[in-house]
Amino acid sequence: MDLSLRGRTALVCGSTQGIGLASALELAALGANCILLARNEAKLREIVAQLPSSESQQHSYAVADFADPSSIRNAIRKIVSEKHITILVNNTGGPAAGPIINAEPDAFITAFTQHLVANQILVQAVVPAMKLEGYGRIINIISTSVKIPLNNLGVSNTTRGAVASWAKTLANELGGFGITVNNVLPGFTSTARLESLANTLASNKGISVEEQSAAMAAEVPAKRFGSASEIAAVVAFLASPAAAYVNGTSIPVDGGRTGTI
């Protein structure tokens, strides 16, 4: 099985923590040159220095705010003027929890900007080089909510579903160029996002965070939360030559929690 990413350059979004960081570490371990994209420059500088470089890779970073399309455009224009990106990992933090009926209309605009609009800007910038190379991997970190909407995540469910439909359409358009587009759907994963969700739910129910976390873990057939590295392993496979015929799909990585076949 060919998992080598030697000579490939990956752009990994939201890569200063959680699944984004774990994905960058895994891609670098397989030989990719990694460009990290996030808004915290101090953290980016710190992470770049930690990435594996056994293949003499050159890792770097760029600063951008996913809530600001002009910031994304400026960053990606500079990146593609210097590098051929053949692996793109779209990943950014999800919207705040809460029932959809209570969501302000502006919350949807913000979420679509941070996710769908940002993804579109990045894809339009990197696809020309992917076509030239005859190799491209676009991997979107979304949520199992695209299979079954999750309670109390109204804005997130709506936005994630839109991204999944966008990705499937893109996969149909780009498949003939050697470019694949796939979605990774993390379940309950030990990240700051899950911790925040557990805190919110515990507060709403008037129970401890420990009780809420235990109840959530009990919903998973594996009876535990996943780790960011377990999600990143699937990202790395999809980025590799071995996954050339995997296209247009959404893959839950959730310990079996999603109740669909």
User: Are residues 117 and 125 in contact, defined by beta-carbon separation less than 8 angstroms?
Assistant: no
pLDDT tens, 222-251? 999 999 999 999 999 999 999 999 999 999
pLDDT tens, 109-123? 999 999 999 999 999
pLDDT tens, 37-79? 999 999 999 999 999 999 999 999 999 999 999 999 999 999 9
Give me the mean pLDDT over the 194-205 stretch. 85
| DSSP state letters, 172-216 | HHHGGGTEEEEEEEE-SBSSHHHHHHHHHHHHHHT--HHHHHHHH
Confidence class of residue 202 from pLDDT cuts 50, 70 and 90? Answer: confident
Taking CA atoms, 148 is separated from 145, 157, 171, 232, in Å, by 5, 9, 22, 22
Give me the mean pLDDT over the 82-96 stretch. 95
Query: CA torsion sign, 244 to 246 to 249 to 250?
Result: negative
Three-state secondary-structure class, residue 48: helix
Q: Which two tokens stand for residue 218?
A: 């009990």
pLDDT tens, 3-24? 999 999 999 999 999 999 999 9
pLDDT greater than 90 at residue 174: yes
- Give residues with Cβ within 8 angstroms of 114, minimum separation 6: 66, 67, 92, 93, 95
User: Are residues 145 and 156 in contact, defined by beta-carbon separation less than 8 angstroms?
Assistant: yes
Give me the mean pLDDT over the 165-185 stretch. 98
Averaged pLDDT of the chain: 96
Sorted by where each starts, the structural domains of the chain and their CATH numbers stand as 9-187+227-253 (3.40.50.720)
pLDDT at 246: 98
pLDDT greater than 90 at residue 204: no
| % of the chain beyond a pLDDT of 70 | 100
pLDDT at 195: 87
User: Are residues 235 and 89 in contact, defined by beta-carbon separation less than 8 angstroms?
Assistant: yes
User: Are residues 123 and 170 in contact, defined by beta-carbon separation less than 8 angstroms?
Assistant: yes
| DSSP state letters, 27-44 | HHHTT-EEEEEES-HHHH
pLDDT tens, 19-38? 999 999 999 999 999 999 99
Full-model pTM: 0.96
